[in-house]
């Protein structure tokens, strides 16, 4: 768990890495605090490096303050890094549904892969709203590209992706560039449904 109070008039950047593997990264506008949570670093792989940088501005006489703390993994929550398909957090179906909580910081995105969905079945996704956060929900292909998204609701409201063929069963949650869900996480739910024979099936927007 990391919390950075930047120097005055500086746009900060914060990275957590072990060796060449980047575990988490956040970037803010001028005077933005950066807070990261549930960063699950692999300390057995080497020393943990925390890098701070002034992306914009300079304030040589002002101080920045960084708090780094250890806390046990949060039960029922995603774990960083999971910002791409290769590091997707498993979302395991039980009784036809699966649910996990997640945290966001500026520039963060969380990718999930549903486990246990039959290929002929369909999956629906919904994410609960978080105060002052404008969430975006996207279905992804194996290449990480988005093929359908839900981004119509405003800040503080949830988003819904209707049932579509399970396929790669990948979904991504993100927010606006400066949105933060740190103290209150979002909650993502996947629901398994059976296809209706006389209805079209997504994706079907190309040849």
- 23 vs 4: CA distance, rounded Å: 17
User: Tens digit of pLDDT for each residue in 111-166?
Assistant: 999 999 887 789 999 999 999 899 999 999 999 999 899 999 889 999 999 998 87
| 170 three-class SS | strand
Report pLDDT for 145. 93
With b for 16 or more beta-carbon neighbours within 10 A and e for fewer, the 105-120 pattern comes to: bbbbebbbbbebbeee
The H or E element spanning position 162 is strand 159-165
Is this structure's pTM higher than 0.85? no
14: closest CA among 40, 51, 59? 51
Q: What is the mean pLDDT of the chain?
A: 89
């Amino acid at each position: 768990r990391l919390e950075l109070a930047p120097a005055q008039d500086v746009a900060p950047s914060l990275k957590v890495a072990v060796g060449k593997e980047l575990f988490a990264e956040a970037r803010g506008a001028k005077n933005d605090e950066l807070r990261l949570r549930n960063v699950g670093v692999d300390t057995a792989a080497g020393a943990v490096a925390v890098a701070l940088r002034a992306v914009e501005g300079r304030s040589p006489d002002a101080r920045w303050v960084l708090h780094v703390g250890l806390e046990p993994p949060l039960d029922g929550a995603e774990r960083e890094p999971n910002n791409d398909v290769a590091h997707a957090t498993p979302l395991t179906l039980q009784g036809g549904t699966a649910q996990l909580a997640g945290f966001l910081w500026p520039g963060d995105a969380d990718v999930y892969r549903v486990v246990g969905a039959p290929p002929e079945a369909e999956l629906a996704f919904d994410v609960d709203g978080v105060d002052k956060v404008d969430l975006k929900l996207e279905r992804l292909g194996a290449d990480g590209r988005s093929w359908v998204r839900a981004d119509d609701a405003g800040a503080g409201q949830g988003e819904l992706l209707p049932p579509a063929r399970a396929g790669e069963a990948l979904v991504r949650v993100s927010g606006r560039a400066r949105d933060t869900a740190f103290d209150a996480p979002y909650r993502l739910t996947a629901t398994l449904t059976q296809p209706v024979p006389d209805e079209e099936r997504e994706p079907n927007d190309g040849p």
